[in-house]
Structures are given as C-alpha cells and as structure tokens.
Structure 1
Amino acid sequence: MNPFHVWNQPNAGGAPSIFGALPYPKQPPNLHKFYFTYPAGGSIMNSTVVNAAGAPQLSLGDRGSAGYTKFQNPQGQTVALVEWQRYPRVEILYLLPVKQDVRNWLRVNSDGNFRWRTMEIQGRQCMFAPHDQFIYIYLRDASGVRFMGKISRSPSSVLLETTQEAISLGLLNAVIVTTFLLQCGRNID
C-alpha cells in the first residue's frame, strides 16, 4: 500500500510517522510494559526493571563495582554491563559479547532536520527516534521497517513498552540497556 495514499484518506488516523514514508500506526499493537523503578530521590542509575505485574526482570546498579553499571537478572547473573569511562563501553550477554564503545554501537544519525540513534544487533538495525514525549523504537531488516515499541518518562520511573515481536527476536535486553543509556543523563558519546 502506498503510504501517501493512506494519508490522503479521510479519517486515516494520526499524523505521519517521524520517518515520513511510513503511515502512523492507527492502533498500536499490544505492548508489553517494563518499568524502570527507583525510590524517591533516586535515579535510573540504581533501579529495578519490573514487568506490568510487578515482577522484577533486571536490577541495575553499581553494586560493588565502581565505574560500572551492572544489569542482573533475578538469579543474580550479570546479563549486561556499562563501563563508565571517557567513552562509555557496553557489553550484553549473548547479544554483544565483546565490549563496544556506546557512541559506535548506538550511533547518532541525522537527515538534516531530524536526529535519531541506530544500533546494530544480531544483523538487525534498531532505530530510536524521539518524537513529542516519546522515543519510538523501530526495527529495520530484510522485511522492512516495523514499530517495536516506545520509551517514556515520568518523575518516578521510565516506561519501556515493547511488542511481542521484539521479545521473540531476543531484543529485550538490548532495548532495556539502550533505554537506560538514553535516559540516564550521562554523556554516552
């Protein structure tokens, strides 16, 4: 379907997406919610990621490791690590087994008027594009470009909403780490 044709239809729904050639989704798919929670006065730097039912998924923090932020599952296994140095580095178990500079892994792109970040993971390209109060997540692969979720922030938490497809593709930990990096307030370039 020609996306420009959709935009010219009466009641076509929402404004065009930030990528211009994609129609804005009329109804978002069912999204799985993950909250980065932290106590009053705390920050995402030492937080817990819980699902919509409140079950812990990952704990984030520098627990005993100055200069690092560890991402640990409920069993205590470290599944990702951010090393804070002049140019922060990231490592994600099974997905990014060799530390990479965040600025190269989550690079800034621009078309002159608009900026977004892109990461390569498992031969796929994930794009993180800010628009209004959200950061939208898209996946680009051989099948095309698809909506994968969005990130938003409130005073006491950060919310990551992802599609089942993103979870099924094994991208959840990478998207959680990216959400953290984009919301932590530290220089990642």
Structure 2
Amino acid sequence: MPMNPFTQGCWPTSTKNNSISGSGPGTVPQPSLLGALSFPSPVIASLEAQTSLTSFRFTSFNPTILNLTFLRQSDLRPYFRVWTDHRPAKEGSTVVNDEDKKPTIIVEWAPEDGGGPIVEVRDVVSKRRTGEWLILSEDKSYRTMRALGKTFIWTPQGENLCLYAPGLCTPELFARVSRTEDSVYLDLTAEAVRMGLLPVCVAATLLLQCGRKID
C-alpha cells in the first residue's frame, strides 16, 4: 500500500535533517515521496520564470520546525514566530504569532474530544481537523486544500512541494516549498501574496513538514 508522503515530514533528497522534520529517537523512518499529480506537459512555467516572487524562510529551528522564526528572505524581516507548548502527558499546541504578537495560526495536537489535530488560521480557516483541511487523495499522492473560497492542491514536483489551483488546462502555480540542511523555504507568486495565501501556506507547510500524524 502506498505510504503517505505528507505526514512524515519527508523529502525526496538525500539531505535529511531531523531538526526540520521534527523526527528523533523512536520516530518511524521517513519514506521517499511517492507519486505526483499528473498535469499536461509542460505542466506550467517554472517559478523561476515568474516575474514577481516573494521568498520566505523557516529558520532557527529550536529544535524542530515547530519552534522557529519565519523570515522574509529579501530583508530578513521576521514575519512570524512559531512556538510549541509541550505540556506534561500531552502533545500540547503550536501557536504562530505575527509581528504584533497576535496568534495567526493555532494547531491543537491533542484536542479534548480525543480526535485528530485541529488547525485554525485567523480570519481564513475556521477550526477543523487537519486531515479534513489537507485532504489526502486515495492514492496518497497529493492533498486537496480549501481556503479563501478556492480549492488548491499540494503535490510533490521533483524535489519540491508545490501548490496549484486545479481544474485548468495548465494549472496555476501559487507556491513552492523547498529545503536545505537547516532551513525550509516558501516561495509565493505575486498572485498568492495578493490573495492573502501567506498564512495559509505557512500553516500547511508546518503541518506537512512537522513529522507528526495529521490524518
């Protein structure tokens, strides 16, 4: 049976860093990404061909992606602070605060009802199960995400994870997630920034790269 490429924080490269994926002793070994959503060829003009891109970086892992600083790459301006509360006997919660120290994203890893994790993105995504927001396809090759009244798809493309709007002859690319040894990068097109997709993409990236079960 195909393995879920998104719940383990895995990446199809040989440069894996446990601090990024949130893995550690006792963590299930991370599989390679399996499958990809098939689009017409050429799929889409590459992100590098976009005339306007804004790049951000998840950095200063302490020790994982669930405790870090989120910067705009051009001027290293901090946009968000990510911290996770590890309460005794519980998995706690992850909070992403904006520049004014107001919570923008909240993930409850162990809600009181005993169900799966719950995510909320202020003014964009109301409280819901992470698995119901990032819906895994039957063949486990991509996830469907609903935000801002639109449907998007997260799917691996080569060594990157890309966000598309489906239903077009040439699907529109909105974002790309990539990584190095010590950082995770999020690149957004001008249209994605204009639409207000930044906090949505930050939340999705954290969930897809944290190494925790989200379904």
TM-score tier, shorter chain, comes to 0.7 to 0.9
Give the counterpart letter for 2:44 in structure 1: P
Aligned length: 169
Is the 1:124–1:141 Cα contact (8 Å) retained in structure 2? Answer: no
Which residue does 1:176 correspond to in 2? 202
Q: Per the alignment, in what secondary structure is the counterpart of residue 185 of structure 1?
A: coil
Q: Which runs of 5+ in 2 are unaligned?
A: 1-35
1:93 is matched with which residue? Answer: 122
Q: Encode CA deviations 1:73-127: one digit per residue, 9 max, x unaligned.
A: 011000110000251110010001x3100001101114x4x61011111210111
Contact in 2 for aligned 1:61/1:69 (Cα 8 Å): yes
TM-score, reference length from structure 1? 0.80
In structure 2, the partner of 1:44 is: 65
Displaced runs of 4 or more, over 4 A = 63-66, 141-144
The separation in 1 between residues aligned to 2:86 and 2:46, in whole angstroms, is 44
**1:90 touches 1:101 (CA, 8 Å); kept in 2?**
yes
* Superimposed CA distance per residue, residues 129-162 of structure 1 (whole angstroms, 9 cap, x where no aligned partner): 0122100111247997311121012221110111
Which of 109, 112, 132 in structure 2 is aligned with 1:104? Answer: 132
Query: Whose RCO is larger (CA < 8 A, sep 6+)?
Result: 2
User: Contact between 1:80 and 1:177, CA under 8 Å: does it hold in 2?
Assistant: yes
Q: 2:103 aligns with which of 55, 78, 81?
A: 78
* Post-superposition offset of 1:42: 1.9
Q: 1:24 to 1:143 in 2, by over 3 A?
A: closer
Q: What's 1:163 paired with?
A: 189
Are the equivalent residues in 2 in contact too, given 1:134–1:151 (CA < 8 A)?
yes
Matches within 5 A, 1:122-133: 122-133=148-159
Alignment partners' CA distance in 2, 1:143 and 1:22: 10
CA 1:89–1:45: 2 relative to 1, 3 Å: same
Identify, as 1 or 2, the structure richer in strand: 1
Q: In structure 1, what is the Cα distance between the partners aligned to 2:177 and 2:159?
A: 9
* C-alpha RMSD of the superposition: 2.4
How many angstroms apart in 1 are the aligned matches of 2:121 and 2:167? 21
Q: Is the 2:163–2:176 contact (alpha carbons within 8 Å) kept by the matching residues of 1?
A: yes
Gaps of 5+ in 1: 1-16
> The residue matched to 2:164 in structure 1 has which SS?
strand
Shift of 1:25: 3.2
Q: Tell me the equivalent position of 1:6.
A: none
Q: Is the 8 A contact 2:37 2:142 kept in 1?
A: no
